[in-house]
Amino acid sequence: MIGLDIGFGDVKVAYLDKGEVKTFKFSNAVRQKRSGGGAMEPGASEYEFNGKQLLITDQPHVDNMSTTSIEYLMKYSPLLAYRALKGPEMKGVVLKDNKISVGLPIGYYTKSYRQQLIDSLSRVIVNKDVLDLSVSVLPQAVGIQYDFQLDAKGGDVKGTEINAVILDIGYNTVDVVIMERGQSVGDESDMLPGFGITMAVQNLQKELKMRFPGFVTSDQVCKEALLSRALRWQGDTLDLSVTIDEIMENYIERLMYEIQGKWDKYIVGCDKLILAGGGSYYLSANANLMPEGFRKVLHVPENPEFANARGYLKSLI
């Protein structure tokens, strides 16, 4: 059994190995292999899927498909699930069964999308290899709740029946789950499309194009630059600290304004503001820019980008 968080930027995987929850991730960037091929680039994996030769690669490339739409996620989830189950990280790992649990952003957690995802993952065919899987689908951010409230054996963690606001900062979306006395409140939980870290990435790309006309860079490169605060350009290292400070300040201000406008009545009375997801690294690195009320109750779990995947796995356990 595995927990699979297929995000708009990376795929996070959690699995049980000898009673211990282990994790790994890989980029969800896919592109079609060019005819003539050439040497395989480092870190790339080649697959035959839906009649096409495709590469899954951690390497930034202008030919990589845009990964920020729900249509992309639905179309390539089977291929990414296959990569998760059959990739080099799983060599020698014996899974207990063929159960997988995956998530959908809250705004897309509809009967139609759930069934489409279940149907596409129940039988996965890649490289003429067939995987028959038992699939469960949860709302994103609810995985973070499970991770917070359950241990590696699926047992309850004491002291977690609290009032909390969960912020799942993804690449494209921010999912918000409201907890009251340890129970999620579905009617009050929601998704903010376009408010993920992609907002800061796009602003950095615009700034780079203005400063360096004709300069084209990938989302992956800009994601890394937001944390490293630097970028390689024509053999030199560009210090982007001032630019990124401005971008992150504007991004966090807009995000906090949006969150406070919708959920402030829960935030002011919550015991914890749980911050997780791949984008949480960017916010926690700039926590000084968050409102004081947020900082007082801020809780960031260990390895927060894997919180959903771990929670999905624990829900199966």
Q: How far apart are CA 159 and CA 146, in angstroms?
A: 14
Looking at the domain assignment, is residue 172 inside a domain? Answer: no
Determine the average pLDDT of the residues in 243-271: 94
pLDDT, position 67: 64
Alpha carbons within 13 A on the beta-carbon side of 13: 25
Q: Could you read off the pLDDT of 101-110 as tens digits, one per residue?
A: 999 999 999 9
150 and 12 in a common domain: yes
The confidence score (pLDDT) of residue 156 equals 95
Determine what percent of the chain is predicted with pLDDT higher than 90.
67
Q: Give the CATH number, domain containing residue 59.
A: 3.30.420.40
pTM: 0.89
Please, where are the H alpha helices in the chain? 70-86, 111-122, 142-149, 198-211, 219-228, 241-267, 280-284, 292-296, 307-316
Clarify whether residues 210 and 95 are in a common domain.
no
User: Is the pLDDT confidence value at 30 over 70?
Assistant: yes
Do residues 222 and 144 both lie within one domain? no
268 and 310 fall within a common domain: no
Residue 307 lies in a domain: yes
Average pLDDT, rounded, for the chain:
90
Residue 126's domain spans which residues? Answer: 2-160+302-316
Cβ contacts of 148 within 8 Å, gap of 6 or more: 157, 160, 164, 166, 274, 301, 307, 311
Whether the per-residue pLDDT at 69 is higher than 90: the answer is no
In a domain, 270, yes or no: yes
Tally of structural domains, the chain:
2
115 and 216 housed in the same domain: no
The answer on pLDDT for 18 being more than 80 is yes
In a domain, 182, yes or no: no
Residue 280 lies in a domain: yes
Same domain, residue pair 96 and 244: no
C-alpha dihedral sign at 263, 265, 267, 270: negative
pLDDT reported for residue 59:
62
Report whether 133 contacts 296 (CB < 8 A): no
Same domain assignment for residues 109 and 12? yes
pLDDT tens per residue, range 260-273? 999 999 999 999 99
Does a structural domain hold residue 170? no
* pLDDT tens-digit series, residues 167-206: 999 988 999 999 999 999 989 999 999 999 999 999 999 9
Average pLDDT over residues 216-233: 85
**Same domain for 127 and 249?**
no
Residues 6 and 154 in one domain: yes
pLDDT digits (tens, 9 = 90+) for 128-158: 999 999 999 999 999 999 999 999 889 999 9
Is residue 151 domain-shared with residue 72, that is, in the same domain?
yes
Is there a single domain that holds both residue 147 and residue 14? yes
Residue 80 lies in a domain: yes
The sign of the torsion formed by the CA atoms of 219, 220, 226, 231 equals negative
Q: Which of 33, 103, 34, 43 is nearest to 73 (CA)?
A: 103
End-to-end CA gap in the chain: 8
How many other β-carbons are positioned within 10 Å of the β-carbon of residue 129? 11
Let me know if residue 174 belongs to a domain.
Answer: no
Q: Looking at the structure, do residues 8 and 151 belong to the same domain, yes or no?
A: yes
